């Protein structure tokens, strides 16, 4: 009976995946959720068949990019990989990713699985599989009504790791909260930026020691609370990094050296992508896989939806996700590093998957927008009025106005004399924006 339920769950899930693709649906959670109801053991049965290892990827920002870079490297090295690469990162999305790769009998002959996991669901997922390696990119404030403060998210991750003591943990050693989790876990490696960076920016979210709750001291910040920290009270301080980036150059894409030997040069935007690439490379190295030809492997990597995604219309348009203070500040800093004359659209919704509480916009440094290269700013989304108030308080001098919808904003900004349009959106605006931009790009190139 158990075997029948398992095979039935696979069949039903595959049918739903197929129907979803026919209807053009992006999500992949529902098929896995129904498969789980039919056979609660479906993920456990499939995951033990992965022959070489399972990688769990968590973190507030950058986990989708990091996960997909790991997938790209492993695939290009000739390995067969299961990956939830469109970001369906709860239990149901992970189940869908596995079933999509297995045959109708539930056989799955794959080497690795690399799986992005929602921090709050990591415990639930770990109940059904055992990762070989877990990498955590960072912990920032995000979706306050769901996660609360950083400490709550940290507790979710600690709960998952307590279930699987044998997991090799790789953390961002520039993040004091993550390094504290690593020290408690014991079996860990660290990555980070090994020197003061060209992008050094202090907007600290968490300045208290995660061990004794006294104020942390910083020799320097990279951004938010990431940097070279130490506690004068209890002695908790920044680790000697196992994997570090140095000689960082952001003038033309990103370039840096890893541990004084491997040179990385990529056409990616944003200092935060140094961390994402380094996190992925740390995993690859830990798995015992060499870095040979790594620049060639990553040169044709296409970022996931709304990760500095480019469209060629009347002018270049860049779509990027910005969903919390740390991510928004890094996005704005990256946009302002482009010296071209630019227009900017900011779109914020407050649907359940965005988080209802948008008070975080008051922690975003909109002073970045006080720049002579900013032509105009368009505000839209369900919370456009709050954005309007927020920009007034920042005394942004650029012309800004509100729009009823994202399409109206895009069409209007395409008619200005700027060289580039940046569209910064939170989660539920992503796919609508991408669909509009792809349709316009098709007409422009048709």
More confident residue, 302 or 429: 429
How much is the pLDDT for 147?
A: 46
How much is the pLDDT for 150?
A: 84
pLDDT(87) > 90: no
The arithmetic mean of pLDDT across residues 249-269, rounded, is 89
Residue-wise over 368-378: b if at least 16 C-beta within 10 A, else e?
bbebeebbbbb
Tokens 């935060």, residue located: 272
pLDDT(230) > 80: yes
Of the chain, the end-to-end C-alpha distance in Å amounts to 55
Q: How does residue 257 score in pLDDT terms, banded at 50, 70 and 90?
A: very high
How much is the pLDDT for 307?
A: 84
Q: How does residue 145 score in pLDDT terms, banded at 50, 70 and 90?
A: very low
Q: What are phi and psi of 292, to 5 degrees?
A: -55, 130
More confident residue, 142 or 77: 77
| Rounded distance between C-alpha atoms, residue 18 and residue 10, angstroms | 12
More confident residue, 389 or 22: 389
- Is this prediction's pTM over 0.75? yes
Q: Where are the domains of the chain?
A: 43-299, 309-445
Q: Which residues pair with 193 in a beta bridge?
A: 245
| Rounded distance between C-alpha atoms, residue 97 and residue 86, angstroms | 10
How much is the pLDDT for 371?
A: 86
- The two tokens of residue 272 are 């935060």
| Rounded distance between C-alpha atoms, residue 270 and residue 253, angstroms | 8
CB-based contact 437:319 (threshold 8 Å):
yes
The arithmetic mean of pLDDT across residues 158-162, rounded, is 97
Q: Which residues pair with 114 in a beta bridge?
A: 55, 83
| Rounded distance between C-alpha atoms, residue 150 and residue 177, angstroms | 8
How much is the pLDDT for 81?
A: 99
pLDDT(149) > 50: yes
pLDDT in tens, 345-379: 999 998 877 778 888 899 899 998 988 899 999 99
pLDDT(203) > 80: no
- Report in angstroms the alpha-carbon separations of 263 from 66, 257, 283, 306: 18, 4, 17, 27
Q: Which residues pair with 378 in a beta bridge?
A: 345, 401
CB-based contact 75:81 (threshold 8 Å):
yes
The CATH code for residues 43-299 is 3.40.1190.10
For 256, the enclosing helix (H) or strand (E) is strand 254-258
pLDDT(197) > 90: no
Residue 421 CB contacts under 8 Å (≥ 6 apart), including other chains: 315, 316, 317, 318, 342, 343, 344, 345, 410, 413, 414
Q: How does residue 213 score in pLDDT terms, banded at 50, 70 and 90?
A: very high
- The two tokens of residue 201 are 């920016």
| Rounded distance between C-alpha atoms, residue 10 and residue 98, angstroms | 10
- The two tokens of residue 86 are 């469109």
How much is the pLDDT for 446?
A: 58
Tokens 């990555």, residue located: 191
How much is the pLDDT for 417?
A: 92
Burial of 184 (0-12, 13-18, 19+ CB in 10 A): middle
The arithmetic mean of pLDDT across residues 236-256, rounded, is 94
pLDDT in tens, 274-285: 999 999 999 999
CB-based contact 170:136 (threshold 8 Å):
yes
pLDDT(343) > 80: yes
Q: How does residue 5 score in pLDDT terms, banded at 50, 70 and 90?
A: very high
pLDDT(323) > 90: no
How much is the pLDDT for 51?
A: 98
pLDDT in tens, 262-308: 899 998 888 999 999 999 999 999 999 988 889 988 888 877 777 88
The arithmetic mean of pLDDT across residues 367-394, rounded, is 92
Q: Whole-number mean pLDDT of the chain?
A: 91
- Of 67-81, 174-188, 248-262, 273-287, the poorest mean pLDDT is in 248-262
Tell me the residue length of the chain. Answer: 446
Fold entry, domain 309-445: 3.90.190
The arithmetic mean of pLDDT across residues 63-68, rounded, is 94
| Rounded distance between C-alpha atoms, residue 287 and residue 67, angstroms | 14
């Amino acid at each position: 009976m158990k075997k029948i339920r398992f095979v039935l769950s696979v069949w039903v899930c595959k049918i739903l995946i197929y129907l979803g693709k026919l209807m053009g649906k992006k999500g992949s959670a529902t098929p896995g959720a129904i498969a789980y109801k039919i056979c609660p053991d479906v993920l456990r049965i499939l995951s033990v068949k992965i022959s070489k290892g399972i990688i769990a990827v968590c973190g507030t920002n950058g986990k989708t990019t990091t996960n997909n870079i790991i997938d790209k490297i492993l695939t290009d090295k000739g390995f067969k990989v299961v990956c939830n690469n469109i970001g369906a990162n709860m239990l149901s999305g992970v189940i869908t990713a596995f079933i999509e790769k297995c045959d109708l009998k539930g056989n799955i002959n794959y080497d690795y699985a690399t799986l992005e996991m929602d921090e709050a669901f990591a415990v639930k997922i770990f109940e059904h599989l055992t990762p070989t390696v877990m990498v955590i990119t960072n912990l920032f404030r995000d979706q306050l009504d769901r996660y609360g403060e950083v400490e709550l998210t940290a507790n979710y991750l600690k709960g998952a790791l307590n279930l699987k003591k044998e997991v090799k943990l790789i953390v961002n050693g520039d993040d004091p909260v993550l390094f504290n989790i690593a020290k408690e876990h014991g079996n860990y490696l660290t990555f980070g930026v090994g020197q003061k960076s060209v992008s050094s920016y202090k907007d600290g979210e968490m300045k208290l020691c995660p061990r004794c709750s006294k104020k942390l001291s910083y020799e320097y910040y990279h951004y938010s609370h990431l940097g070279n920290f130490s506690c004068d009270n209890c002695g908790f301080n920044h680790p000697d990094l196992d994997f570090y980036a140095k000689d960082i150059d952001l003038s033309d894409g990103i370039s840096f050296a890893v541990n004084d030997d491997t040179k990385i040069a990529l056409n990616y935007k944003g200092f935060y992508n140094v961390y994402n690439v380094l996190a992925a490379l740390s995993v690859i190295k830990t798995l015992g896989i060499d870095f040979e030809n790594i620049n060639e492997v990553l040169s044709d990597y296409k970022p996931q939806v709304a990760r500095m995604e480019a469209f060629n219309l009347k002018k270049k348009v860049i779509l990027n996700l910005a969903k919390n203070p740390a991510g928004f500040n890094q996005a704005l800093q990256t946009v302002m590093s482009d010296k071209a004359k630019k227009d900017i659209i900011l779109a914020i919704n407050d649907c359940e998957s965005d988080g209802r509480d948008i008070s975080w916009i008051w922690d975003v440094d909109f002073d970045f927008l006080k720049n002579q290269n900013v032509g105009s700013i368009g505000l839209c989304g369900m919370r456009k009025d709050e954005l309007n108030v927020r920009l007034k308080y920042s005394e942004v001098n650029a012309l800004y106005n509100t729009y009823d919808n994202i399409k109206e904003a895009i069409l209007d900004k395409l008619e200005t004399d700027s060289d580039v349009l940046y569209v910064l959106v939170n989660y539920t605006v992503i796919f609508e924006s991408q669909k509009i931009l792809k349709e316009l790009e098709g007409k422009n190139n048709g």
